[in-house]
Every structure is written in structure tokens, then in C-alpha cells.
Structure 1
Amino acid sequence: MGPDRTTAAARRADRAEAGHPQRVPEDTEKTGARPGGESKVTVLVALGANLAVAVAKGVAAVLTGSASMAAETAHSFADTLNQVFLLIALKGSAKPADRAHPFGYGRVRYFWALLAAGSIFVTGALYSAFEGVHALTSGEHDIESPLINYVVLGVAFVLEGASLLRGLQQTRDEARQHRLGFRDFLRTSDDPTATTVVFEDSAALIGLVLAAAGNALHQVTGHAFWDGIASLAIAAVLAGVALRLGLSNKRLLTDVQADPRLVRAVLVHLGDEPEVEAVVDLLTLTLGTDSVLVCARLDLENSLSAAEVERAMVRIGDGVQEAFPDVAEVFLEPVPRHDQGVRDRVRSRYGDRLAEFMVHEASRS
């Protein structure tokens, strides 16, 4: 005998009257996976801009002897190396799942993005700091042909600005798809490619301004002190960006749950199923960019036969994946809501208050 659908419908009606949406709230459902080509184009644009700028800055640093220009050269070469890391990340994470990696290679992207953050710190920040200290301790020296620096910095500003605009465009589009503000998306995004480009190019523009200021003050005052200070300031900016990107990728590499809005929407969706009496436990895991694993323990109608339970599990799992394109895999387990072992594990994970809320909220569906 099947579940009492009249009772289930009444529960959903009561829930709607109480101000709770019947199905997935529109502002919490993602619109689907992003096209991978967008990230690749963004990275390629940044790679071309950074490589051209790095060569030009290097030539200018040799010709003028400017410490801040040498720091900017290291900065741009670090950014170029980072784009190579991100291209490797995009290619590696696109590989299909296999026996050794049943959930795919999505996290490969986070590993290479973490290496990119390390590259910013080692190749960029440390070398810039070295140039700054060297300029401060090596005595006074003049910048030869300072006009070369200003021309190179101006061209670099245009190229880096174009790359930043491309990264901002993609990031804003993705934030709009996820119905998030720009800052919230940068803070919570599971795609490190566009956000890395945005942070790198923003730091690049700041570095260009600092280098120009250091050169100008050195030229006006005749003191190399300002060139060294500019190099140290560039090092501080790069260290800050490296730390920000490193912490973001560390979060994604350490078994982080899915977006809380998605978790809540899946909870509501499962609770709305007619066979479900309560959602006893709900686990989510970010497998990669726009790829989420969902595991749920459900208390089903007692009147269901074994065959009906099997059919319900398949239908409910398919329904979750259809409603949420980011959900790559779904595992469902029928359990009684009063199973003490399950309840203890849920409480240890979420705490008493949240565990009880989850069961009660789903039961109201």
C-alpha cells in the first residue's frame, strides 16, 4: 500500500500557509553548471597580458635599475606562472570519473590554485621584499632613463586593466547566476579560476600605481628610499593576496559542505516528498566546481513495502538531481527517525538545536 498522498498534500498546504515555500525557493536554486570555456578564456587573456607585461617590465628594470620595477617584474612573472597552473587545473579537473577517482577530478582545480597562491608569495612577495630591502640598504643611486619606466607602467596598466575587466565580467555573471552579491560570491565561490584572476589583476594594478609613485618620488627627491618603500609595499600587497587565495583553496580542499542555501533547499525538497516523514540526516560535500555530493537519511512512511521503498529511493534521488544541476551524486538511506545511533551522530555533527530543527523543519513539509 502506498503512502497517504492526501495527508502529504495537507502537510504541504499547511507549510505554505505558515509562510514556507512548497518547493525549492527560487532565490536559493542555482541555474546550472557554468560553461568551462568562460574560465579558460579568462585565464588565457590574463596569461597573455601578464607575459607581455613581465617581459616589458624586465627590460625596463635592467635599463633603469629601478628596484620597484624589478619587484613588478617578479610580480608579473609570478602571475604568468599562476595562469599556467590554472590552465593545468582546468584541464585536469575536466577529466571524467574513473575507478581510482569515482567522484571525478574536480578537486584537482583547488590543488593547482593553491600552488598558484604559493607562487604569488614566493616568486612575487619574497622577491619584491628582497628588492625593497636591497634598495634601502645599498645606498643612493639614480634611476636611468625614468621615462622608460613610465611608458612601460602605462602600457602595463592598460593590459592588466583589460584582463581585470574580463575577470570581473565573468565573476559578475557567475554571481548573478548564483543570485549572490559580488563580494559574497568572491568569498564563497567554489571556482578558483576567475576569482584568482580578479585578485591577481587587482593586485597588479595596485602594484603599478605603487611602482609609479616610488619612481616619481625617487626622481623628485633623489632618494632611493622611496623606490625601496614602493617595493616593500608591493610585497605586502602580494603577500595579502597570496594569503587570501591560499585560505580560500584550503577551505575547498578540506571537505567543505555545499553552499548553505543549497543545503537548505535540498532539505526542503526532500521533506516535500510524499513518502518522506522526516529528514533525519543530511550531508553534503563539495566535489569540485559546481559539483556536490548529497547523502541523506530519510524516515519514510511505515506503510511502504520493501519494493515501494526501493522505487521511492530511486525517484527521490533522481528528483534531487533534476531540481539541482550542481548535485552530481545522491545517496539515500531509509532509517527510523528515533534511531539513537543516527541521532547521536547528527547531534555530534550539528549540535542538539540544529539537529532537532532539521528533523522538525523537514517533518513540516
Structure 2
Amino acid sequence: MTATAEVEGAAQEPDRPSGGVGRDGETRRTVWVALAANLVISVAKAIGGVVAASPALLSEAAHSIADSLNEVFLLASLKRSRRPADARHPFGYGMERFFWSLLAAVGIFVTGGCFSVFQGIEAFRSGGSESRHGYVIGLVVLVVALAAEGASLARALLQVRRAARAEGRSMAAEVRAGRDPALRTVLAEDSTACAGVLLAIAGIVLHMVTGEIAYEACASILIGVLLIYVAYTLGRAARVQLVGEAADPGVQRQVREFLVRQPEIDSVTALLTMRLGPDSVMVAARIDLTPGYDSEAVEDAMVRIRREVRGRWHELDQVFLDVTDAAATRQGAAADGHP
């Protein structure tokens, strides 16, 4: 067996870090909190919307129903993505997380956004009026919903803050990184829900003061547009991850610099990365060795380097090192007429 083959075989050992399991447990609790809040709120909004004949409140009910369905998707993703690797999926099922997040985005778009816009348009067409009793019911339901959504959002923000502290960066940077699609979806849903409730309250209050249902209809359409935008943003992020997203450029640069510093490595001719899950990244490096090392020394060095890479960057749990002759590669490229 050659040194390269032995290194590649060692790189496929299924010894993943366990840090992601703990994060998944916290994310699962966050999703359950959001699901419980949305189930209660959706029933209250639906009943209140029917009794008060409020399009804004019915739009918010659709929003909460969509969120509840999406939380079920996210719980499924948390469970399915942790299945162990097998013969058909040698790198595990981490990408299930991205697939279910895409379904959640579609759910927000169809069930929440499109229904809210439709409800607003129907209100413009049909007109309508509410009694003072209806206004009071709508406002009470929305205030309770705002409190519940706010509590769920606070839980999600607390998890983001803990993750940001663990990574040594700001909360804004952690949100932009968005490694955990389940947490990102819950955070987006709860933030949008609070904004939607405020829009619905504004619409009902203006309707009550002016007697014009157009304000509630506008609020309903604005809620729908907001949901469609959030769905598009989440769907785009899921698509990027599903088609094969590279690791953070800063991490790639650090890994390349680390490899070049090793005395056994003369140069790194290629470095490719792909995210396999929220806490799993594959690294494939094509390296040229420094002359003078025998096969046994090369094997020991490559195993050591691989372990150090995984020790420094815990998410890099699949490391492949391909030993090549850079000079021969350049000569072959020149012979073929390539620069």
C-alpha cells in the first residue's frame, strides 16, 4: 500500500466531534418552545379573526400555522440529520438539515405569505366593518401573541448569544454565519412574527379610529410581503448549502497556511472544502511533499497533520490529503499547452 492510499484510508475514520450533539439539544429545545407558542397562538388568532372578522388577524393566524408546520419540519431535520453514516451515505446525513430548512421556507411562502396577501386583497374587494367588541378581541389576542412570540424570540436570541460567545464573535456575525439552519429559521420566524403582530395591531387600531378597513387590508398585505421576503432569504441560503457550500474563506486560508508551514509539505497545489452539515466540513488538499522522506515517515506525518487539522478546527471532520508531484503536474500541463 502506498503512503497516499494509507493517508486516504486514515482520513475516512468516522470519529466525529461530539460538540454538535450538544448544540442540537439546545436547538431542539428552542424549536419546541417556538412550536408550543405558535400552536397556542395560531388557535387564538384563528378564533379571534373569525369572531372579529379581521383580515389582519386571519393573516397572522395563517402566519402562526405556517410557523407551526415549519417547526415540525425542523424537528424532523434535527432527528434525521444525526443518523450515522452508512454505505449509501458515507459522509452521514448532515445535509438533511438543509433540505428540511428549504421545505420550511416553502411553507412560509405558501401558507403564510401568499395567504396573507390574498386575505388583504379580499378585504379591499369586499370591504367590511367590525364592532368595538371585535376590535377588542383582536387587540387582546395580538397582545398575548406578541408576548408569546417575544418569549420565543428571546429564547432563540439567548442561544445565538451563547454560540457567539463560544466562537468569540458578535451576535450579528453569528447570525450572518448561520451555520445551524434550524436555529436560523426559528430566529427569522420569531422576528418576523413580532413584526407581523405589530403591523396587525397598527392596522386594527387605524381601522378602529378611521372606520376604514383599508388599513387592515394594507397590514395584511404587508405581513404577506414580509413573509415572502423571509421565505426567499431562507430558501436562498438553503439552496446554497444544498448545492455544496465551501467553508468560510478565513478557515480555508488558515488551513492552507497551516499546511504550508509543515516541514514535510513543500506546497499546497489545491485546497477544496464543502459543508456536509452544520458542524461537518470536508477538506480535500492536494499537496507536494518536501524531498527526502521515506514512505513510513510520510505516512506518520500525514496522520499527524490530519489530527492537528481536526484538533484546531473541530468542524473539519473529513480530511483527505492527496500527495502529488507538483513539478510533474506543471510539466504535464505545459506539455498539453496549458499555462
TM-score normalised to structure 1 length: 0.83
Shift of 1:341: 8.1
Aligned equivalent of 2:161: 172
Aligned equivalent of 1:74: 62
- Which of 100, 115, 122 aligns to 2:103? It is 115
Secondary structure of residue in 1 paired with 2:201: helix
Secondary structure of residue in 2 paired with 1:145: helix
Cα 1:32/1:63, change in 2 over 3 Å? same
- Which of 207, 229, 237 aligns to 1:248? It is 237
- Counterpart-to-counterpart distance in 1, 2:331 and 2:207: 70
Secondary structure of residue in 1 paired with 2:317: strand
Aligned equivalent of 1:211: 200
Shift of 1:176: 2.5
RMSD (CA atoms): 2.0
Aligned equivalent of 1:22: none
| Matched ranges for 1:85-100 at <5 A | 85-100=73-88
Letter in 2 for 1:99: A
Aligned equivalent of 1:84: 72
- Counterpart-to-counterpart distance in 2, 1:98 and 1:240: 38
Secondary structure of residue in 2 paired with 1:142: coil
Aligned equivalent of 2:119: 131
Cα 1:78/1:343, change in 2 over 3 Å? farther
- Which of 146, 151, 172 aligns to 1:162? It is 151
Moved more, 251-260 or 52-61: 251-260
Cα 1:337/1:204, change in 2 over 3 Å? same
Letter in 2 for 1:102: P
- Which of 144, 167, 191 aligns to 2:180? It is 191
Letter in 2 for 1:66: S
Secondary structure of residue in 2 paired with 1:280: strand
Cα 1:57/1:91, change in 2 over 3 Å? same
- Which of 261, 264, 268 aligns to 1:279? It is 268
Matched, 1:232 2:221: yes
- Counterpart-to-counterpart distance in 2, 1:240 and 1:343: 47
Aligned equivalent of 1:105: 93
> Percent of counterpart pairs with the same letter?
43
Aligned equivalent of 1:295: 284
Matched, 1:140 2:111: no
Asked if structure 1 preserves the Cα contact closer than 8 Å seen for 2:91 and 2:276, the reply is yes
Letter in 1 for 2:303: V
Aligned equivalent of 1:53: 41
Matched, 1:36 2:24: yes
Give unmatched runs, 5+ long, in structure 1. 1-29, 353-365
Deviations 1:32-88 (A, max 9, x none): 545211110110000001111001001101111000000000000000001000000
- Which of 340, 352, 358 aligns to 2:330? It is 340
Deviations 1:234-258 (A, max 9, x none): 1011011111111111111111111
Give unmatched runs, 5+ long, in structure 2. 1-16
- Counterpart-to-counterpart distance in 1, 2:36 and 2:309: 41
Letter in 2 for 1:73: A
Moved more, 222-231 or 315-324: 315-324
Cα 1:226/1:318, change in 2 over 3 Å? same
Count of aligned pairs: 317
- Counterpart-to-counterpart distance in 2, 1:198 and 1:38: 14
TM-score normalised to structure 2 length: 0.89
Secondary structure of residue in 2 paired with 1:101: coil
Secondary structure of residue in 2 paired with 1:99: coil
- Counterpart-to-counterpart distance in 1, 2:307 and 2:222: 54
